[in-house]
Amino acid sequence: MPTADDEIAIAVHECGHALVSALLDETENPHLVTLEGGEHDISKFYTQFEAKASIRQTRGQIIAAIAVALSGKVAEELYTGQASSGVFDDLMAASDMARKMVELYGMGSFQESLYQKDKQGLVRRPLSPERERLVDEEVDSILREAHDMVSEIYLVNRDLLEKMVDQLLIKKTLTWPDIQKIINRALRRMMRRYS
């Protein structure tokens, strides 16, 4: 049973995912954010995204997806000064996407795939220790790029994150229309300020 502090931290984490995915053009909108998962859900707490069917992804779309994956971790760091063990799955997903960008899709400085096909399917080619180090550096650079993107979003929109967290703690579940209301209110306020 989560404590009150756990519930706040979880709300921060999930609202982090929801806000970043709502504000980035190249990601799916958050369909639902909840602290009350059903008995058949894998996790009690989750953010559910609209499914977009696509047979291809651009570099920008993958970076945005990595940013969404890291956004719960960055939100925790912003609120508490440190991340929790609850970021494990997100960090694994972000790292996997970044590594595929470099090793599989040629979206780093390597202008080739580091994989080749054989009878077993895709097999990673052996690399020298120097090239392995370069791959690791590129993966780290992509993760830092996405992390910085999320940090910038929170720097400008921390009030939206706080409002979303407050609403989630009260309602326990936020739908996309709920999230839109929070975001649109802030956008109207900004338009009045600068008009």
Reading the block at residue 58, the tokens are: 């651009």
Pick the catalytic residue: 7, 14, 137, 138?
14
Catalytic, 138? Answer no
Residues of 100-121 as b/e, b for ≥16 C-beta within 10 angstroms?
Answer: ebbbeeebbebeebbeeeeeee
DSSP per residue, 93-153: HHHHHHHHHHHTS--SS--S-SEEEETTEEEEPP--HHHHHHHHHHHHHHHHHHHHHHHHH
| Spatial CB neighbours of 12, under 8 Å, sequence gap ≥ 6 | 72, 75, 76, 79, 80, 161, 165
- Residues serving a catalytic function are 14
